[in-house]
Amino acid sequence: MIPFSPPRMDDKIIEAVIDTLKSGWITTGPRVIKFEEMLTRYGGHKATLCVSSGSAGLELMLRWFGVKEGDEVIVPAYTYTATANVVVHCGAKPVFVDVDDDFNISVCQIERAITPRTKVIIPVDLGGFPCDYDEINRLVSKTMTRKKFNPATEEQKKLGRILVLSDAAHSIGAFYKKKRTGCLTDITVYSFHAVKNLTTAEGGAVCLNLPEPFDNQDIQKYLKVKSLHGQTKDAYSKVQIGGWRYDIVEPGYKFNMTDIQAAMGLVELDRYDTDMLVKRRQIFETYSSAFSKYNWAQIPVYDTETKKSSFHAYLLRIKGITENQRDRIIHEVYSQGVAVNVHFIPLPMMTYYSSLGYRMEDFPVSYDNFSREISLPVYHSLSNRDIEIIIRAVVHSVEAVIQDNS
């Protein structure tokens, strides 16, 4: 069986982890600090805080901005559950809006969903393809949009508008108008989960890029305290000479990254552009070249004049099929020895969110994208022979199901 998305664990990563273990320092320490510095340079934003997961980063920033019960946060209906769950954790209401044909949140639908209760918009770069950030940033800055904004905290008053919090779990290394994700809007959050392009097993990072008068360096220092139970010193600082005394300034969270995780991230980030992204682009292009020969294949968009994907997920859609037919195709592909996936089941279809009254029929583009989508394997160790097997399995399976229904 060709697996769907195994992480890369080669000798360089293993050696880096072993060196960390031998160093005697395995929790948050010097490697995390170095990783934060490298991520800041890489993304071009103003400051970085590494955290235990992308979900933790999103929730941390919602809580920093003062999102609470009675507030609304706009999220795409087509995303992984973490994007909405963190809103619920804060007591606020996720307001789902539909997506466009490229799987990303519709700016027109965002504008229609804004109310005086809206505090944050969370765009999601699905599959690694960036959202329309200039349009979203312009929307929140429009006079009419600002007039609707009802600030309740010092941070909200200082910003004076809706916060744009980018869920870039898939898109580290992607470009929008020659700028990397990380510096495209107010705050960006990466994920380094095991299936991501750049993995630290678990982990994430908050990329701070807030406008003046915010001091992003000061906010990073505050967030570090907030992510460590409100403790004014991390463990590494406390073991320095005379550093044992600390204070608790608020009941914070346990969202910190470890040096073991950062050691993996440092190796991967160092070779990311010249190795990982090159390989993933080659896989995308091979798939596109093969499937473009078939009328039933809708090739994903991943490289345009203004946007370049991080090539995280290859979102192949099959034209003119039903959800049931798509499921049968997936079953047949598996029978050919190839693991595939679907990114994602829209949240209004999930039991928890449907029980709150969200209806899938209100998001027709999201449903259409989902019902015809199959995600194909994309990872570093995928061989040319593996890719050929995957292509043959998909072509055979699609044509078998289509012919069976003709």
76 alpha-carbon distance from chain centroid: 13
What pLDDT score does 51 carry? 98
HEC letters along 120-133: EECCECHHHCCCCH
What pLDDT score does 244 carry? 82
Hey, what are 272's tokens? 């990311």
Average pLDDT over residues 55-78: 98
pTM given for the model? 0.97
Residue 72 pLDDT > 70, yes or no?
A: yes
What pLDDT score does 406 carry? 60
Percentage of the residues of the chain whose pLDDT score is greater than 70: 100
Residue 248 pLDDT > 70, yes or no?
A: yes
Q: Catalogue all structural domains in the chain, each as residue range(s) with its CATH number.
A: 11-270 (3.40.640.10), 272-404 (3.90.1150.10)
At what angle are helices 323-335 and 364-371 packed, to 10 degrees?
A: 30
Residue 35 pLDDT > 90, yes or no?
A: yes
Distance separating alpha carbons of residues 183 and 135, to the nearest angstrom? 15
Those residues whose C-beta lies under 8 Å from the C-beta of residue 327, and which sit 6 or more positions away, are none
Distance separating alpha carbons of residues 179 and 306, to the nearest angstrom? 10
Residue 138 pLDDT > 80, yes or no?
A: yes
Pair 371, 323: CB distance under 8 Å: yes
Average pLDDT over residues 188-199: 98
Residue 359 pLDDT > 90, yes or no?
A: yes
Distance separating alpha carbons of residues 159 and 179, to the nearest angstrom? 23
Question: How many residues are listed for the chain in this entry?
Answer: 406
Distance separating alpha carbons of residues 133 and 138, to the nearest angstrom? 8
φ, ψ (nearest 5 deg) of residue 164:
-105, 115
Residue 149 pLDDT > 90, yes or no?
A: yes
Distance separating alpha carbons of residues 369 and 101, to the nearest angstrom? 7
DSSP 2-43: B-S-PPP--HHHHHHHHHHHHHT--SSSHHHHHHHHHHHHHH
Average pLDDT over residues 303-326: 98
Q: For the chain, what is the largest distance between any 2 Cα atoms, rounded to a whole number of angstroms?
A: 78
Residue 308 pLDDT > 80, yes or no?
A: yes
Average pLDDT, the chain: 97
Cβ contacts of 228-231, under 8 Å, gap ≥ 24: 228/28, 228/252, 228/254, 228/255, 228/256, 229/253, 229/254
What pLDDT score does 344 carry? 96
What pLDDT score does 240 carry? 77
Average pLDDT over residues 285-314: 98
Residue 213 pLDDT > 80, yes or no?
A: yes
pLDDT band at 110 (very low <50, low <70, confident <90, very high): very high
